[in-house]
Amino acid sequence: MNNRVAVIGDKDSITAFRAAGLEVFDATTAQEAEKLIKQLTDEHFAVIFITEQLAVGISDTLAKAKVKAYPAIIPIPNADGSNGYGMSGIKKDVEKAIGTDILFKED
Amino acid sequence: MAIQNVNPTRMEMKRLKERLKTATRGHKLLKDKTDEMVRQFILLARENKRLRSEVESQLSDALKNFMLAKTVADTRVVEEAVMMPSRRVELQCTKRNLMNIGVPHIEVKQDTAGELYPYSFLSVTSRLDDSVATLDKLIVSLIQLAEVEKTCNMLAEEIEKNKRRVNALENIMIPQMEETIKYIEMKLDENERASTVRLMKVKDIIAKQQQSY
């Protein structure tokens, strides 16, 4: 039962995922997204993709979910392109673990 | 550094020395664990960065294509076209043990039996085909990204926790115990000296008394 994938985002960006066989849920505000994440966590989704534009607004909720193995909540770019939230997440992780950012220094 | 509040006895000292030994060993072990975790984390973080930039660029392209397809054709037609997907993505989720943390391990079971395009080619443009085909290929990378990114998150959290433990041992626990042991040793030595002096004094007194008889 713990094997489903969900995509949360604005309607324009997520319709495409439906064609690829993922379950999509549309949300336009941070509150809606937060509610959806709660609901999907209760329904034991394994992976939840969320558009970066929505993820920015609910970073507290995402940080709380980081310590558990499932669900993995992963920010993805939407149809307008990426706003760098996903990359900054990696950067934050590196800073947390090593103390200084060694991966992004060169660029 | 403050010493612990203990009775300066030999038994207490023995107990403390035992604890100090355990703490030093634990400290060494934890330090080694951090080293190994950091090594693994760097590998994973590199992989994470590579996967993410790859996925982000491809996904943006696919989604842009999809948007264009939507603008060229009627929005409703496109939505209808993808309404009933012919494929489903199934995952095989388990937990993997990495440095004693249960990290997710996900395998994709993409059912490729069904037709990729769930619509008739008549109603929509080829941009939609492109976009759907790219997305379909991207699913595997996306799931992989999910796995790697989650592992990175958890590892980073664990490394931070571990570092705090190492610091607490190194800078507080171990010095405090060493200090306390030293204090007890000094106190015991002092007691011993005091009793020697007392004995000497008593001996003197007795000798004097014998002389006077």
Contacts of B195 (CB under 8 A, 6+ apart): none
Between the alpha carbon of residue B43 and those of residues A70, B40, B48, B183, the distances in Å are 22, 5, 9, 47
The answer for residues whose C-beta is within 8 angstroms of residue B112's C-beta and 6 or more apart is B87
Set out the domains of chain A in order of their start, with CATH numbers: 4-98 (3.40.50.10580)
Q: pLDDT by residue (tens digit) across A13-66? A: 777 787 777 888 888 888 888 888 888 888 888 888 888 888 888 888 888 777
Tell me the residues of chain B between 165 and 204 that have a Cβ less than 8 Å away from chain A: none
What CATH topology corresponds to B10-212?
Answer: Helix Hairpins (1.10.287)
What is the rounded CA–CA span in Å between residue B156 and residue A105? 19
> Would you call A21 and B85 a contact, using CB atoms and an 8 Å cutoff?
yes
Q: Is A87 on the interface with B (CB under 8 A)?
A: yes
Q: Is residue B114 pLDDT above 70, yes or no? A: no
Q: How far apart are CA B29 and CA B3, in angstroms?
A: 25
Is residue B89 pLDDT above 80, yes or no?
no
Q: Does A65 touch chain B (CB under 8 A)?
A: no
Mean pLDDT of chain B: 85
DSSP 8-state class, residue B171: I
Domain boundaries, chain B: 10-212
User: The pTM is what?
Assistant: 0.81
A4/B154 Cβ within 8 A: no
Cα distances (angstroms) measured from residue A2 to each of A6, A35, A71, B95: 12, 19, 9, 12
Tell me the three state secondary structure of residue B10: helix
Cβ-based neighbour number of residue A78 at 10 Å: 22
pLDDT confidence of residue B195: 96
